[in-house]
Structure 1
Amino acid sequence: MTKKKHKYSNKKLSRGEPPNFSGQHLMHNKKLLQEIVDQAKVSKKDTVLELGAGKGALTTFLSERAKRVLAVEYDQTFIQVLNRKMAHAANTTIIHEDIMRIHLPKGEFVVVSNIPYSITTPIMKKLLSNPVSGFQRGVIVMEKGAAKRFTSPFIKNAYVLAWRMWFDLEYVKGISRECFSPPPKVDSAMVFISRKPDPIVPYKDRSAFFGLAEYALREPKAPADSLLRGIFTATQLKHVKRNAGIKHDVSIGALSERQWGVIFETMTQYVRRPLWPRPRKTTL
Structure 2
Amino acid sequence: MVRQHEYDQHFLRSPRLVAELIGHSNIRKNDLVYDLGAGSGVITAVLAKRVKHVVAIENEPKVIDKLRHNMQMFDNITIINDDIENVVMSKDAYKIFANPPFSLSSKIIEKFVFTNNSPKSIYLIVQKQFALKIVPSDTRFTSRLGVLIYPWYSTRIRKPLKRSDFTPPPNVDTVLLEIRKRDTPQIDSNREQAYIDFVKTMFQDNEAFRKVAGKFLENRPSVKPSELPIETWLKIFRD
SS in structure 1 at match of 2:9: coil
Alpha carbons 1:39, 1:139 under 8 Å: kept: no
Is the contact between residue 83 and residue 94 of structure 1 (CA under 8 Å) also seen in structure 2?
yes
Cα distance change, pair 60–229 in 1 and its aligned pair in 2 (3 A): closer
Q: Match of 2:234?
A: 261
- Assess if the C-alpha contact under 8 Å between 1:113 and 1:139 holds in 2: yes
The Cα of 1:66 is off from its aligned counterpart by: 0.8
Q: Deviations over 1:136-187 (max 9, x none)?
A: 1121101222222222524454332111111111122321211111112222
Aligned counterpart in structure 2 of residue 170 of structure 1, from 149, 156, 166: 156
Write the distance in 2 (CA, Å) between the matches of 1:92 and 1:258. Answer: 41
Change (3 A) 1:98 1:51: same
CA distance in structure 2 between the aligned counterparts of 1:88 and 1:156, rounded to whole angstroms: 44
- Write the distance in 2 (CA, Å) between the matches of 1:159 and 1:186: 20
Aligned pair partner of 2:193 in 199, 203, 207:
207
User: Which of 100, 104, 121 is the aligned partner of 2:89?
Assistant: 104
In structure 1, what is the equivalent of residue 77 of structure 2? 92
Residues 14-46 of structure 1, C-alpha deviations (whole Å, 9 max, x = no match): xxxxx4423111101233211221122222221
- What's 2:40 paired with? 55
Count of aligned residue pairs for this structure pair:
234
Secondary structure class of the residue paired with 2:91: coil
Matched with 1:39 is: 24
- The higher relative CO (CA closer than 8 Å, separation ≥ 6) is in 2
Q: Structure 2: which amino acid aligns with 1:231?
A: V
- 8 Å Cα contact 2:135/2:142 also seen in 1: no
Q: Give yes or no for the alignment of 1:66 onto 2:68.
A: no
Equivalent AA in structure 1 for residue 238 of structure 2: E
Cα distance in 2 for residues equivalent to 1:133 and 1:86: 27
Alpha-carbon distance, 1:192 to partner: 0.9
Question: What is the RMSD computed on CA atoms of the aligned residues?
Answer: 2.5
SS in 2 for 1:138: strand
Match of 1:29 in 2: 14
Paired residue secondary structure (1:135): coil
Residue from 122, 130, 145 that aligns with 1:138: 122
Q: Which has the larger radius of gyration?
A: 1
- How big is the shift at 1:56? 0.9
Q: CA deviation at 1:93?
A: 0.6
Q: 1:194 maps to what in 2?
A: 180
User: Unpaired segments of 5 or more residues in structure 2?
Assistant: none
Q: Give the whole-Å Cα distance in 1 for the aligned partners of 2:152 and 2:188.
A: 8
Q: CA deviation at 1:258?
A: 3.0
Deviations 1:193-213 (A, max 9, x none): 100111111222122112221
Poorly superposed stretches of 4+, deviation over 6 Å: none
> Identity over aligned residues, as a percent?
23
Identify unmatched segments of 5+ residues in structure 1: 1-6, 9-18, 267-284
Amino acid corresponding to residue 124 of structure 1 in structure 2: I
Distance in 2 separating the partners of 1:41 and 1:156: 25
TM-score when scaled to structure 2? 0.86
For residues 111-160 of structure 1, give each alpha carbon's deviation from its aligned partner in whole angstroms, at most 9, with x where no partner exists: 000111122221121122x1642311121101222222222524454332
Q: Counterparts of 1:57 and 1:119 in 2: how far apart (Å)?
A: 19
Task: State the alpha-carbon separation in 1 of the partners of residues 231 and 160 from structure 2.
Answer: 28
Cα gap change, 1:229/1:145 in structure 2, threshold over 3 Å: closer, same or farther?
Answer: closer
Greater mean alpha carbon deviation, residues 63-72 or residues 95-104: 95-104
Report the CA distance between 1:80 and its aligned residue.
1.7
